[in-house]
Structures are given as C-alpha cells and as structure tokens.
Amino acid sequence: MTALGTGSIASSSIELRNVVVSAPTANDDVTILHPTSLSLGEHRVSVIGGNGSGKSTLARLVNGLVAPSAGTVGIELAEGGARRSLDTRRDGAAVRRNVGFVFTDPSAQLIMPTAIEDVSLSLRRSHRDRAARQAAASAALERFGLQHLADHSVHTLSGGQKQLLAVASVLATDPAILVADEPTTLLDLRNARMIGDLLMSLPQQVVVVTHDLDLAARADRTLVVDDGRIVFDGHPAAAIAHYRDTVSQ
C-alpha cells in the first residue's frame, strides 16, 4: 500500500450554515441535528460521540446522503487556482463526485461479484472506454495492495480486505473529500489500525466518524456531538478529554 503525505490544511472545505435536520414522527417532528454552523478546512477532522448522538447524520450531510431540513451545506473546492462552491441540495451529482463516502459495513458498498469489477463500477462515468476503465481499476487495486485479489469474489475477502476494497473503490474516482462513518467498528485491532493508517495518510480532506479515540486523536480537529448538538469543537486531545468527562458523569 502506498503511503501518502499529509498536511494540516486541506485545499477543500466544508461549510454548514444554520443547518437543522429533523424527521417526522406520529405526533411531531423530532430534531436529529439542532442548528449548526461549521467551517471545516482542516485536512483531517474527527467526529466522536455516543450512539444516537447525531454524528452519523452530520457526516451524511457532507455528501448529500442526508438533506438539511433547514440551512445549507456547502462544499468549497480549489480548482486550477480558483474556488468552486457546491451546494448539496442544488448540486447533488457534483457533490457526490467530489465527496466520497465509506460506510461502517463494507457490504453496503461492495455490490459486484469480484474486486476488480467493483472498482470498475465506480469508474464507469469517468472512464467510458472499457479497456481504460479496467486499467484504472487494476491500478487502484495495486495502489492499495489488492491486485492479487482482483478476480476474487468479494464474499471470500476478510473484513479488513473488504473495508480496504470499499475505500479503494471510493478513492479510485479521486474525490476531493472522503467521509468515513465508523470505518473501523467491525474490524479487529490489526485491520482497524491498517484502515486508520490509510485514512490518516491520504492527500484528500478526511472526515472520520469514530468510536476509536486513538484514531480520533490523530486528526487536526475534533468535534464532539451529543444529543444533536456540537458540544465541543477543538484540539483532539481537549475534545477527547471533554468526551471522557461527559461519559463518566
């Protein structure tokens, strides 16, 4: 697997402006995310919090998997020395091309029979020619040390290999931002470290939602989410200390 350099400032940024997410119930609407405004320009951002706190909703807003009930979510991209602004509502297709998403369970993403077919599927829009698409998919597998598994059924891969393949399929399209929602939760310690090392080595801006506080600590900035609110936003060590104090109360 190729290691890639990192820096503290990303060339892209994420802007949430007075964003609210609510959902209807039998009696009334329930608020999942209370009014939130954020500007995330750091290279690596981690999001921590308890189950049901709203952190996954926050992550899914970034690439339009969840639409805000109020407010706007914007993606700022650097392109050829200029800045390009995308809105997750208005520019959904462009947002999805520029913001990759990795789910907790890779089985939610791996839908083709073999590893190389799955990566090829993600490249169908950027590489119309079949031979070029196959070559690009092969190169993506090689980049992540998966070339020897190209023709293997995805169902025969280990948990770590499946998650690595899911990441490879997303990164093959070269998104500007990668959002990973608890990507190490289903993995053993060795594979969790492998995926964590990969995410923290990427040149893309990375937003990772995680229960792994060691992984969260490697970010440049950490958000703590509780009851649909950002209750702490700052340096990872301070954020984790705040979270630990909250849990122990």
Give Cα separations from 177 to 30, 181, 216 (angstroms).
30, 13, 17
**DSSP secondary structure letter of residue 234:** E
Domain assignment present for residue 2? The answer is no
* Domain CATH for 173: 3.40.50.300
Domain boundaries, position 190: 9-248
Span 78-102, average pLDDT: 91
| Residue among 85, 53, 78 at smallest CA distance from 211 | 53
The one-letter amino acid code at 63 reads: N
So what's the pLDDT on residue 247?
A: 78
Domain assignment present for residue 4? The answer is no
What are the CB-based long-range contacts (under 8 Å, 24+) for 145-148? 145/1, 146/115
Instruction: Look at the chain and report how many structural domains it folds into.
Output: 1
Span 180-204, average pLDDT: 94
Q: Strand pairing partners for 38?
A: 16
Domain assignment present for residue 208? The answer is yes
Q: Which residue has the tokens 């329930």?
A: 30
Span 90-97, average pLDDT: 94
Domain assignment present for residue 193? The answer is yes
Span 164-178, average pLDDT: 94
Q: What percent of the chain has pLDDT over 70?
A: 96
Domain assignment present for residue 73? The answer is yes
C-alpha–C-alpha distance, residues 128 and 157, integer Å:
28
For 247, counting Cβ atoms within 10 Å of its Cβ (0-12 exposed, 13-18 middle, 19+ buried), the class is: exposed
Is 70 exceeded by the pLDDT of residue 8? no
Domain assignment present for residue 1? The answer is no
Record the pTM.
Answer: 0.90
pLDDT band, very low/low/confident/very high, at 221 (cuts 50, 70, 90): very high
Looking at 157-232, list the stretches that DSSP marks H as alpha helix, in order from N- to C-terminal side. Answer: 159-171, 189-200, 213-216
Is 60 exceeded by the pLDDT of residue 204? yes
Domain assignment present for residue 42? The answer is yes
So what's the pLDDT on residue 44?
A: 97
So what's the pLDDT on residue 248?
A: 66
Task: Give the side-chain half-sphere CA count within 13 A for 239.
Answer: 26
Q: Cβ(210)–Cβ(219) under 8 Å?
A: no
Q: Strand pairing partners for 39?
A: 15
Span 112-132, average pLDDT: 92
Domain assignment present for residue 177? The answer is yes
Give Cα separations from 92 to 47, 89, 96, 170, 231 (angstroms).
23, 6, 6, 17, 29
Chain mean pLDDT for the chain: 92
